[in-house]
Amino acid sequence: MKLNAYVADLFGETGAISRFIARYFGELFRPKYEVRQFIRQCYIIGVLSLPLIAVTGFIMGLVLTMQLRPSLLSYGVEAQLPVMVSLAIVREIGPVITALIFAGKISSGIGAELGSMKVTEQIDAMEVSGTNPFKYLVVTRVLATTMMLPILTILSDTIALYGSYLGVNIKGHTSITLYFFQVFHALEFSDVLPAVLKTVFFGFAIGLIGCYKGYNSSKGTEGVGRSANAAVVVSSLLVFIIDLLTVQITDLLGLN
């Protein structure tokens, strides 16, 4: 593809996503509300993602602790291990890793599901059945991802800290009371709040891109595969871009 065509495509896609976002907010506040479908999506997106998020969170905490220990030991500050790990997990690694796992599971799933519905005319059938498909399919899913990811991140962080506690005790002995005393002593409100807030944006981006790619799927089953793939790639990339932006913003606000 020639460069100018690529740039034109990029701007075209950005414009289309912007219109999609504008439509999302327009439909979000306009009655009638698809409450039952929203609750169902919260269950599918949030509750059913919990086992995966819990396992990855636990491994993340355990491995990070085991990797950090030799470095801290060489500086003679092994006692600071809970502090280092908790700050790393809560501020950065927990939200980003959880969001990436979430993007891989949810964004691709939404992209494939809506893409499949599009090419098999289920979205048209929904419209004919007196339902606003955008509100029923897109608004409920994006709202669910936006609300569920912060909750999943908090749970993942907590489980990661338990994993870390286990890691600390593999080559030493620290009581759980002392471990969590050190963790909560090290963490401040300014560590937790921006980290949780950015997951709201991660969740929004992941749900929105999944829905956008699926809702605009074309070219049959090949298009469905492409939608699912593009949903993961773009939403994962957006997680890093949003992370970069939020770090800059919190830095400007003096929260770092």
Partner 1 sequence: MAADVEDNIKQGTKKGDVVISIDHVTKTFGKRNVLDGFTIDLQRGESLVVLGRSGSGKSVLIKCVIGLYKTDGGTIKVLGQDIENLDHDGLDAIRANVGFLFQSNALYDSMTVRENLEFPMRRHLKTVSVAEAEKRIVDTLAHVGLAHTIDMMPSELSGGMQKRIALARTLVLNPEVILYDEPTTGLDPVTAREISTLMNDTQRLYNTSSIIISHDMKCVEKTADRIAILMDGKCYAIGTFDQLRQSKDEKISQFFE
CB of 219 to partner 1, least distance (A): 15
Residue 152: exposure state from Cβ atoms within 10 A (0-12, 13-18, ≥19): buried
- Tokens representing 49 are 């993602």
The residue behind tokens 């606003």 is 132
Angle at 233 between CA 231 and CA 236, to 5 degrees: 100
Instruction: Round to whole Å and give the CA distance between 28 and 25.
Output: 5
Token pair, residue 107, equals: 């964004």
Query: Shortest distance, CB of residue 140 to partner 1, whole angstroms?
Result: 13
Q: Choose between 44 and 66: whose C-beta lies nearer to partner 1.
A: 44
Task: Output 71 or 120, the one with its CB closest to partner 1.
Answer: 120
Q: How far is the CB of 202 from partner 1 (least distance, A)?
A: 26
Report the C-alpha gap between 34 and 30 in whole angstroms: 11
Lookup result for tokens 């908790």: 86
> What is the contact surface with partner 1 in residues (CB under 8 A)?
116-117, 120-122, 124-132
Nearer to partner 1 among residue 31 and residue 76 (C-beta): 31
Distance CA 36, CA 252 (A): 41
What is the smallest separation between the CB atom of 155 and partner 1, expressed in angstroms? Answer: 26
Q: Which is nearer to partner 1, 40 or 171 (CB)?
A: 40
d(CA 84, CA 78) in angstroms, rounded, equals: 10
CB of 218 to partner 1, least distance (A): 13
Pick 78 or 127: Cβ nearer partner 1: 127
How many helical (H) and strand (E) elements, i.e. helices and strands, does the chain have? Answer: 12, 0
CB of 248 to partner 1, least distance (A): 41
Best CA proximity match to 145, nearest among 98, 192, 112:
98
